[in-house]
A and B are shown apart, each in its own frame.
Chain A
Amino acid sequence: MTDQPDRAASVVRISGVDKEFSAGGRVVTTALSGIDLDIRRGEFVSLIGPSGCGKSTLLRLIGDLIAPTAGSVEVNGKPAHAARLGREYGMVFQAPVLFEWRSVEDNVKLPLELLGMARSERETRARQMLDLVELGEFRGHHPHQLSGGMQQRVAIARALALQPAILLMDEPFGALDEMTRERMNSEVLRIWQQTGTTIVFVTHSIPEAVFLSTRVVVMSPRPGRITRVVDVPLGQPRNDDTREEPRYFQVVTEVREALRAGGGLGGESTGASDDRLAAEGRVG
């Protein structure tokens, strides 16, 4: 699996992390248990698992949107909390969460404003990002004028605006149809190669995870543990032809078997309550 990584090359280092949600002093749910994971610079790592396995919770722990009950999360060599305050990562949620009162360009400028960047710089950077996601000509439009896929691309542009070292994506294409989804996958890969950002990607979809990632982290149902980390030895750059290679199907099967072994397929745990709790920011 993973050889002992060089500490300096670890962008994200998760050690012995547990996450419990409690209410009124009593522990209600153990979302994650004993998570150890190292993510190296420039990797594309997917987290996959059944509903309720805590993958969204784990993503939010990396982003310091919630705090672990035990263990530590380090990002870029410092605690996750410091990384968030240092604005060292960008996040893309399942819903685009664009502000309907701002134009596309202004939406991308949001993090730049918060950072206090100078106006002319903001404009240059925002346009750069929009060109990166190939939406440059829509920069004056408003979110309601764009399709779901396009809105997500704006969200990605916004997440990349501060040129963070890490991009966290929480099932960003879950709401899209299959064909748009596959197109968006290619988009993300292209952006990944162009920017060299480390990406942590949460998904429900095995094909998507395998297509996109250098490594796939398979998780078990609640309490979430890492069942296996599957290396994806497919070459780069990947394209539609990759989806038809025999090796691709082999890795997909490998991941599926890892899920099954961890108890992941068939008999879902009771709803996505962990992920929902995490999304609502309920802290233990």
Chain B
Amino acid sequence: MTSAAPSVGVPLAPRPGRAKRIGRSVAYYAPAIAVFVGVIGLWEIAIRAFEVRAVIVPAPSAIGAALVENWGAGRWPLFDAARATLFEALGGLVIGTLAGLAVAFGVSRWANARDAVLPAAIAANAIPIIAIAPIFNAWFGVTNPLSKMMVAALLVFFPVMINVTRGLTQVEPAAIELMRSYAASEWAVLRKVRVPNALPFFLTALKVATTLSLIGAIVGEYFGGASGVIGRVVVQSASALRFDVTWAAILLGAVAGISLYLAVVLLERWLIPWHASVRREEPG
């Protein structure tokens, strides 16, 4: 836990002034922003200049137009679809995370259980869980959002369970010995050592889980579902050759994914500000 420290212990230097910090952030992100603007610009120009068949790869402006046109109602209600899919993803995220946490706490209690369960879970994680989507449609009903939630939950369960189990059990032996020297109970060790130790592991898993929950929801929808969801919009608009709508839908899916991920990053900053990965001097 305590790693090699500088040979002279001094408090951190005072943080630079606000304006300077913002300036530094901008400079740091400038190349990435330049790339983004450049790619969009080139894309638009290339489509117009070479008159590429807009059917397959529409120009960014066309995608923007489709987005605006279909925002509310209309043939492909993009905003409602995004909301519905996000709802499924969040539901799956909650169910899968809770289940993963429960099993992880249960398994970490007994070292033997952990040695048995962890390899099985890692192997199970290798199964293309997506394939179970049709079964869940049959079980829970094709138009029922629960069927997509369960696919998402299953995808989320494994990384959460595996990582939290590792976090609860991969504790420095010296720390356990320290607690023993204080005659601390197992419960105290859990509360004061294992759980804080497991937090970084949990948050890493959560970051992966947000993506997986969206994948579970959207791909689950590919195999069948109610109309007003991102997955169905993608499939239907693509088969109608309205690729501008398809790309718009995917864009919304991407935005949803990034938002969830950023939410977890914020959670991370709040919960584990002390962790090496969070206290980087450089922004981002």
Which A residues are in CB contact (< 8 Å) with B7? 147-148, 177
Chain A residue contacts of B197, Cβ below 8 A: 101
Inter-chain contact A84/B2, CB cutoff 8 Å: no
Chain A residues within 8 Å of B49, by CB: none
Q: How far is the CB of A85 from chain B (nearest CB, A)?
A: 5
Q: Which residues of A contact B1 (CB under 8 A)?
A: 97-100, 143
In residues 82-111 of chain A, which contact B (Cβ within 8 Å)? 84-87, 89-91, 93, 95-102, 110-111
Which residues of B sit under 8 angstroms from A141, Cβ to Cβ? Answer: 11
Chain A residues near B75 (CB-CB < 8 A): none
User: Which residues of A, 235-278, contact B by the 8 Å Cβ criterion?
Assistant: none
Residue A41 interfacial (CB < 8 Å): no
Binary interface encoding of chain B residues 180-222 relative to chain A, with 1 for a CB under 8 A from any of its CBs, else 0: 1111100010001100110100000000000000000000000
**Residues A97 and B172 in contact, CB atoms below 8 Å apart:** yes
Q: Is the CB of A99 within 8 A of B9?
A: no
Set of chain A residues within 8 Å of B175, measured between Cβ atoms: 97, 99
Whether A101 contacts B172 by the Cβ 8 Å rule is no
Contacting residue for B177 out of A89, A93, A138, A144, CB 8 A: A93
Asked if B5 contacts A65 (CB within 8 A), the reply is no
- A87 touching B182, Cβ below 8 Å: yes
A151 within 8 A of B: yes
The answer, yes or no, to whether A114 is at the interface (CB within 8 Å) is: yes
Q: Is the CB of B184 within 8 A of A114?
A: yes
For A175, the closest partner residue in chain B by CB is B4
Name the B residues within 8 Å of A151 (CB-CB).
2, 5
| A65 touching B182 in the complex, CB below 8 Å, given contacts A98-B2, A143-B2 | no
CB within 8 A of A87: which of B9, B174, B183, B272? Answer: B183
Q: A3 interface residue, CB < 8 Å from B?
A: no
Interface of B is mostly: loop
Contact B174 A97 (CB under 8 A): yes
Chain A residues bordering chain B, tally (CB within 8 A): 38
Q: Which residues of A contact B12 (CB under 8 A)?
A: 145
A89 to B180, CA, bound (A): 12
Write out the residue numbers on chain B whose beta carbons fall within 8 Å of the beta carbon of A16.
Answer: none
The smallest beta-carbon distance between B264 and chain A, in angstroms, is 18
Contact A144 B2 (CB under 8 A): yes
In the complex, A63 has a CB within 8 A of chain B: yes
CA separation between A93 and B2, bound complex, in Å?
13
Min C-beta distance of B69 to chain A, whole Å:
50
A93 to B175, CA, bound (A): 10
Tell me which residues across on chain A come within 8 A of B9, comparing CB atoms.
138, 145-147, 149-150
Q: Is B127 an interface residue (CB 8 A)?
A: no
A148 touches B4 (CB 8 A): yes
Q: Does B3 contact A (CB under 8 A)?
A: yes
Question: With the chains together, A99 CA to B180 CA distance in Å?
Answer: 15
Known: A142-B274, A145-B11. A95 touches B2 (CB 8 A): yes
In the bound complex, residues from chain B placing their C-beta under 8 Å from that of A87 are 182-183
CB distance from B44 to the nearest CB of A (A): 48
Chain A residue contacts of B3, Cβ below 8 A: 144
**Given A65-B181, A99-B175: A147 and B196 within 8 A (CB)?**
no
The distance from the CB of A174 to the nearest CB of chain B, in whole angstroms, is 14
Given the known interface contacts A97-B178, A142-B274, the answer about A281 and B173 at a Cβ–Cβ threshold of 8 Å is yes
Interface presence of B6 (CB below 8 A): yes
B11: chain A residues at CB < 8 Å are 138, 141, 145
Collect the chain A residues with CB atoms within 8 Å of residue B266's CB. none
* Chain A residues near B32 (CB-CB < 8 A): none
B35 at the interface (CB under 8 A from A): no
Contact among A101, A111, A148 for B182, CB-based, below 8 A: A111
B183 near A93 with CB under 8 A, answer no
* Interface flag for B116 (CB, 8 Å): no
- Whether B274 contacts A101 by the Cβ 8 Å rule is yes
What are 6 pairs between A and B in contact, CB < 8 Å? A63-B181, A96-B2, A97-B2, A97-B172, A99-B1, A101-B272
Which residues of A approach B to under 8 Å, CB–CB?
63, 65, 84-87, 89-91, 93, 95-102, 110-111, 113-114, 138, 141-151, 177, 279-281
